[in-house]
Amino acid sequence: MPSFRSSMTERGWPQDVGIIAIEVYFPSQCVDQQQLESFDGVSQGKYTIGLGQTKMGFCSDREDINSLCLTALSRLMEKSQAGYENIGRLEVGTETIIDKSKSVKSVLMQLFEESGNTDIEGIDTTNACYGGTAALINAVNWVESSAWDGRYAVVVCGDIAVYASGAARPTGGAGAVAMLVGPHASLVMERGVRSSHMAHVYDFYKPDLSSEYPTVDGKLSIQCYLSSLDNCYSTYSRKFACIKEASSPPMSLSQFDAMLFHSPFCKLVQKSLARLAFNDFLNTPKEELTQKYTGLEAYREKKLEDTYFDRDVEKAFMTNSTEQFNQKTKPSLLLATQVGNMYTPSLYGGLVSLIAQSTVESLSGSRVGMFSYGSGLAATLFSLKGSLDRGPDSALAKLIASQADLQCRLKARTEIQPDVFAQTMKLREETHHKAPYIPVGDTKVLFPGTWYLTHVDDLHRRLYERHSLSTSNVATKAVDVAYTKEASISLPNASNPLSSLPQPVLSNSSQQ
């Protein structure tokens, strides 16, 4: 068997390292937020307008963090055809902990058994909603390091976001995203500008290991989110100034073709874009202020740290940045408003949403800002650049084509009544960590190809099976092709979105 070779002197620095392929999985069941408002007895628009949420995805007791990640990884590997033997690193980002010792990554290794590949670095990474970003950074760093052996890295991030009955419950959600990382990527991580902000704070945490529910200081969490955004944007701007061409304008929102955010709820994302517009306003020299800021002069002396809950500033800059929000950010909220907060995959669900609504022309060469936040806290602002190759068979064209079924999959979900949703949440609460346990959720409503929990034995060992890749369920027939391995593999080149991936560097020598 040929071995993989890693000679940085022979190959040089890996070029254009970033995301080659991406796949998202969300549950086949959802609840309508407007109906949930009526069921919860709250004012009309509290969830749909106040939070900006339309529907919320949720899992029955048939799905857990392991099954979500198994499904996402299976989809990625089948649609990309990268080959399990060609993976050298696999890291999982999640805050959904069902075992204090055994990692989700180790559960995913069952998918590699047939290939015989056990030489795979990486493990789970946890810090609230930030773990997926940490895993992605680690994957990129690995490919760009002397440790790289020419194989791909895979990042999987997934979570089930559930809350106790009350005001926070409509901000839940569930899902998983898997990404293939390597050189010659469709979306390249920009070097030299990535900026992070880390601090110690108790804004959202899960001290009760017997429960899925978090302890949340909502007001503090929003302040921490916005403060982290301010800090990361400032550092990113400073680094950008060091590497930009002399003729290029200074950093501002105009430098981003798209701006994506971690989305606890969609309204916060809109406020975050406005927050960056406020940063730009304060950073613009007085003599350079244009008609763009007419009527905002009264806010010139405001300090960032004094304005986290300043309604006047918030309203003024949300109004001022409406066009920027609609152009740069709103397209990324498709999954966030339809599925809810997926925690670690939230930002990357935004990326999938953007890709699904883009053309090769609009994404090629574009700069996509990515703000990741995890309570506790950890935050990073980084950027991706779309490949300049615009050909019909380019990696970028295939990446976009791979998400053409996203709207279809969302429409194929089964909408559940709020009372049934509440019963499902109650069942999860009562059976969380129960052993032995046989789930009672209906597997017929699952999407084709979904992994699900069959039972938990008396030693808490969890066993899984995969739902049929085809189905007789009318509601899910529309997404058969998207979930069917045979359909994906049998389609040639342009019809198969990701059939022409860059190949790993191989050596016939047994020496590394």
Q: Which of 206-220, 261-275, 329-343 has the lowest mean pLDDT?
A: 206-220
For 51, other C-beta atoms within 10 Å of its C-beta total 20
120: phi > 0 → left, psi -120 to 50 → alpha, else beta; which? beta
What are the structural domains of the chain? Answer: 3-507 (3.40.47.10)
Q: Is the pLDDT of residue 324 over 70?
A: yes
Q: Is the pLDDT of residue 54 over 90?
A: yes
Q: Is the pLDDT of residue 158 over 60?
A: yes
Catalytic residue check, 197: no
Residue 142 main-chain phi, psi, to 5 deg: -65, -45
Q: What is the mean pLDDT of the chain?
A: 90
Residue 495's pLDDT band, with cuts at 50, 70 and 90, is very low
> Of 129, 157, 224, 232, which residue is the catalytic one?
129
Residue 362 main-chain phi, psi, to 5 deg: -75, -30
Q: Is the pLDDT of residue 339 over 80?
A: yes
How big is the chain, counted in residues?
512
Instruction: Supply the pLDDT for residue 7.
Output: 34
Contact, 352 vs 19, CB < 8 A? no
As a whole number, mean pLDDT of residues 449-454 equals: 98
As a whole number, mean pLDDT of residues 236-241 equals: 95
Q: Is the pLDDT of residue 10 over 80?
A: no
Q: Is the C-alpha dihedral spanning 325, 317, 272, 229 positive or negative?
A: positive
Q: 271 a known binding residue? A: yes
* 0.95 exceeded by pTM: no
> Of 30, 262, 266, 467, which residue is the catalytic one?
262
Query: From CA 365, how far away is CA 386, in angstroms rounded?
Result: 5
As a whole number, mean pLDDT of residues 347-373 equals: 98
Residue 2's pLDDT band, with cuts at 50, 70 and 90, is very low
Q: 244 a known binding residue? A: no
pLDDT digits (tens, 9 = 90+) for 191-204: 999 999 999 999 99
Catalytic residue check, 95: yes
Contact, 8 vs 179, CB < 8 A? no
Instruction: Supply the pLDDT for residue 294.
Output: 86
Contact, 30 vs 338, CB < 8 A? yes
| First-last CA distance in the chain | 13
Q: Which of 35-39, 322-326, 473-477 has the lowest mean pLDDT?
A: 473-477
Instruction: Supply the pLDDT for residue 471.
Output: 57
Q: Is the pLDDT of residue 139 over 50?
A: yes
Give residues with Cβ within 8 angstroms of 245, minimum separation 6. Answer: none
> Of 95, 190, 212, 314, which residue is the catalytic one?
95
Query: From CA 269, how far away is CA 204, in angstroms rounded?
Result: 18
Instruction: Supply the pLDDT for residue 247.
Output: 67
Q: 221 a known binding residue? A: yes
Q: Which of 207-211, 218-222, 256-260, 380-384 has the lowest mean pLDDT?
A: 207-211
Catalytic residue check, 301: no
Assigned token pair, 50: 């106040």
Q: Is the pLDDT of residue 47 over 50?
A: yes
Residue 11's pLDDT band, with cuts at 50, 70 and 90, is low
pLDDT digits (tens, 9 = 90+) for 290-311: 778 888 989 999 999 999 999 9
Instruction: Supply the pLDDT for residue 37.
Output: 96
Give CA 242 to chain center in angstroms.
29
Instruction: Supply the pLDDT for residue 490.
Output: 28
pLDDT digits (tens, 9 = 90+) for 57-66: 999 999 999 9
Contact, 69 vs 38, CB < 8 A? no
Residue 484's pLDDT band, with cuts at 50, 70 and 90, is very low
Query: From CA 46, how far away is CA 66, in angstroms rounded?
Result: 33
Q: Which of 232-241, 280-289, 327-336 has the lowest mean pLDDT?
A: 280-289
As a whole number, mean pLDDT of residues 393-409 equals: 94
DSSP for 112-164, please give it. Answer: GTTTT----B--EE-BTBTHHHHHHHHHHHHHTSTT--S-EEEEEEEEEE---
**pLDDT over 70 for what percent of the chain?**
89
pLDDT digits (tens, 9 = 90+) for 162-182: 999 999 999 999 999 999 999
